[in-house]
Amino acid sequence: MKNLLLSLLLALAGAVLISNTCLHADSGTDQAKSLRPNIVFLMTDDQRWDTLGCYGRTDVITPNIDELAAQGVVFDNAYYAVAICMPSRATMFTGRYFSDHQSGFTYPFNRTLPREEFAESYPARLKQAGYRTGFVGKFGIRLEDSRKTAVEHFDYFVKGNSVVVPSDDPDLKQIYRRDRPANERTLKKGDAMIRFLETQPAGEPFCLSISFDAVKNDRDRDMYAPHVEIFKDKRMWVPENWVEGKSARLPEVLDYCRGTYLHVARTSTPELYQKLARRFAVQGYTVDQQVGRLMAKLKEMDVLDNTIVIYTSDNGRFHGSQGLYDKAILYDESMKEPLVIFDGRAPDSQRGRRVDAMVSSVDVAPTILALAGVEAPEIMKGRDLCGLLDDTQDMSGWRDTVLMENLFLQEIFSSSKKRADAAKRNDEIIAGNRSYRTRGVRTERYKYFSYYEHSPVIEELYDLEADPHEQNNLISNPEFGAVLAELRKKTEELHAEATESREKIPH
């Protein structure tokens, strides 16, 4: 009788542990380790949040991602801390803001991330905790001794078309054979993803990160021919704030932003817009098919009910909205993040939910660690989303504002080969009022940001409840004076918090 009672108590304890979204960081028992979930982190490139069916689009075809959303949690107020690929990826690996890690494209924010700092990233921490770690695709960050560091922290690492580890896998060599069509780049990543799962030891937890080069609509290597045919004559949706020709509304300083002249060249007429919108849809569909392959394989392996799948992108893209083409500038088309998290362990009551809490891309790394029961290092600035995922979060203790930054300047990037005079060029750009470096905040209702190196400082303020497409700058409207003062203050406070540990980090 005593043995039966003990067995029932142990089963109940196990059920409670499984029902919690996040394992306790100190749960180091063999039983807890065996219950640690597998984690798959899917990231696309330049995929705007509203190019997915689960976010309301009806002219795209993303059934597998939509099903992931229907069985998971969709975040409706997720925003990038920075919206350009290298620094955004560094932020999601490390849980740190751009002005903190400073690992981007252009001086003085072009710091190589030291090995000791990447050792505190989510994949490194998971490997230390006993996870088998894998990476496939566009790595995209400037990392000290990158090959050696990758081998140190990943058991399986395929960067672009380069198979780093395991270097002797014949199946991987076949996937990345030289004669394979170039426009199958997304399929190759899907094949490498499946190969990782095929070689996964039973009973061992894994974390696999897949980074697609799609959905980058100016790259033919992601235009898989059979999928091109599906959208060949399709009429695509046009957003209300798409601008024909050059925008007269934008601050003049954005004439130095590549998004302005690329819009004129690529998306400034209805014909150009439709052509590239179809390219977005083609590439999004090809990625969606890989998500379908992933879910089918996890089910075949009988591990789906203990696997978490996270789907996001590295930044959005204007694609003609606001009269811009590219990314980085702090309007929502660039800054709003698609974020879907599926947890195979979750009960039916926690599935198919939408969360409107304010979350940031800086939250990705601490969330992954928390889901695995691994303590986040102190250097991480984000928050874990576990309480939002299982609907136990006390919202009175959650943030109501997120910090956003742009520290990229095209003029410095274009002259990056002349690194010796980067400092002089940077000073000239600022003195000449050509800098559009920006920082600001987003609340559920308001958006504020400033081009803080411009003299006088240029500011923008939007009431997104009344003006969701950010067309009416309220910066000079006295009715919003108190809101402006509060958001200016909040911007400085959050920026100070983001960079408070900079003096402790070697440069």
Confidence category of residue 265, pLDDT binned at 50, 70, 90: very high
Query: Which pair of tokens denotes residue 428?
Result: 């000239």
286 found inside a domain = yes
Same domain, 121 and 270: yes
Where does 337-421 have alpha helices with state H? 364-371, 386-389, 410-414
CB–CB of 97/81 below 8 Å?
yes
Which one of 362, 379, 396 terminates a domain?
A: 396
Same domain, 37 and 144: yes
Confidence category of residue 218, pLDDT binned at 50, 70, 90: confident
The DSSP letter of residue 446 is E
Beta-bridged to residue 308, according to DSSP, are: 39, 343
Confidence category of residue 35, pLDDT binned at 50, 70, 90: confident
Query: What number of CA atoms fall less than 13 Å from residue 328's CA on the CB side?
Result: 24
CB–CB of 352/313 below 8 Å?
no
CB–CB of 317/48 below 8 Å?
yes
Which one of 335, 364, 396 terminates a domain?
A: 396
13 found inside a domain = no
When pLDDT is averaged across residues 246-250 and rounded to a whole number, the result is: 96
Q: Examine the pLDDT at 57 and tell me if it is beyond 50.
A: yes
Beta-bridged to residue 135, according to DSSP, are: 157, 209
Same domain, 178 and 39: yes
Q: Examine the pLDDT at 25 and tell me if it is beyond 50.
A: no
Same domain, 202 and 239: yes
Same domain, 355 and 495: no
| The pLDDT of residue 358 | 98
| The pLDDT of residue 285 | 98
CB–CB of 73/389 below 8 Å?
yes
Task: State pLDDT tens for residues 433-482.
Answer: 999 999 999 999 999 999 999 999 999 999 999 999 999 999 999 999 99
3 found inside a domain = no
Q: Examine the pLDDT at 198 and tell me if it is beyond 50.
A: yes
Same domain, 481 and 345: no
Same domain, 172 and 48: yes
Q: Examine the pLDDT at 231 and tell me if it is beyond 80.
A: yes
Closest CA to 304 of 316, 294, 312: 294
Which one of 355, 371, 396 terminates a domain?
A: 396
Please provide the average confidence, as pLDDT, over all residues in the chain.
Answer: 92
- Angle subtended by helix axes 270-300 and 185-198, to nearest 10: 10
In the chain, how many domains are there?
A: 2
Closest CA to 250 of 331, 171, 138: 331
CB–CB of 441/460 below 8 Å?
no
Beta strands in 2-56 (DSSP E): 38-44
| The pLDDT of residue 34 | 60
> Residue 143's domain spans which residues?
24-396
347 found inside a domain = yes
Q: Are strands 401-406 and 206-211 parallel, antiparallel or unpaired?
A: unpaired
| The pLDDT of residue 12 | 41
When pLDDT is averaged across residues 353-357 and rounded to a whole number, the result is: 98
Q: Examine the pLDDT at 2 and tell me if it is beyond 90.
A: no
| The pLDDT of residue 256 | 97
Same domain, 336 and 412: no
Confidence category of residue 219, pLDDT binned at 50, 70, 90: confident
Q: Please state, in angstroms and rounded to a whole number, the distance separating the CA atoms of residues 493 and 507.
A: 23
| The pLDDT of residue 199 | 98
**What residue type is 9 in one-letter code?**
L
| The pLDDT of residue 87 | 98
Task: State pLDDT tens for residues 73-91.
Answer: 999 999 999 999 999 999 9
Confidence category of residue 13, pLDDT binned at 50, 70, 90: very low
Question: Tokens 């072009």 — which residue?
Answer: 110
Q: What are the angstrom distances between the C-alpha of 308 and each of 36, 230, 304, 340?
A: 10, 31, 8, 10
Q: What is the CATH number of the domain that holds 45?
A: 3.40.720.10
CB–CB of 402/81 below 8 Å?
yes
8 found inside a domain = no
Percentage of the chain surpassing pLDDT 70? 91
Give 230-250 as a DSSP string: HTTTPPPP--TTB-SSS-SSS
CB–CB of 112/394 below 8 Å?
no
227 found inside a domain = yes
Q: Please state, in angstroms and rounded to a whole number, the distance separating the CA atoms of residues 351 and 194.
A: 26
The DSSP letter of residue 4 is H
Confidence category of residue 33, pLDDT binned at 50, 70, 90: low
| The pLDDT of residue 150 | 87
27-31, 81-85, 96-100, 357-361, range with the lowest pLDDT = 27-31
Closest CA to 43 of 355, 291, 281: 291
17 found inside a domain = no
Q: Examine the pLDDT at 315 and tell me if it is beyond 60.
A: yes
Same domain, 353 and 485: no
| The pLDDT of residue 23 | 62
Three state DSSP letters for 120-139 = CCHHHHHHHCCCEEEEEECC
CA dihedral 13, 18, 19, 24 (to 10 degrees): 80
| The pLDDT of residue 391 | 95
Confidence category of residue 372, pLDDT binned at 50, 70, 90: very high
Q: Please state, in angstroms and rounded to a whole number, the distance separating the CA atoms of residues 294 and 118.
A: 27
6 found inside a domain = no
Q: Examine the pLDDT at 19 and tell me if it is beyond 70.
A: no
Q: Please state, in angstroms and rounded to a whole number, the distance separating the CA atoms of residues 38 and 256.
A: 45
Q: Examine the pLDDT at 7 and tell me if it is beyond 90.
A: no
Same domain, 143 and 288: yes
Same domain, 249 and 276: yes
Q: Could you check whether the bond before residue 243 is cis, i.e. omega within 30 degrees of 0?
A: no
Q: What is the CATH number of the domain that holds 423?
A: 3.30.1120
| The pLDDT of residue 6 | 40
| The pLDDT of residue 421 | 85
Confidence category of residue 418, pLDDT binned at 50, 70, 90: low
Same domain, 93 and 76: yes
Contacts of 211 (CB under 8 A, 6+ apart): 43, 45, 89, 135, 136, 137, 138, 139, 140, 189, 314
Closest CA to 376 of 150, 183, 128: 128
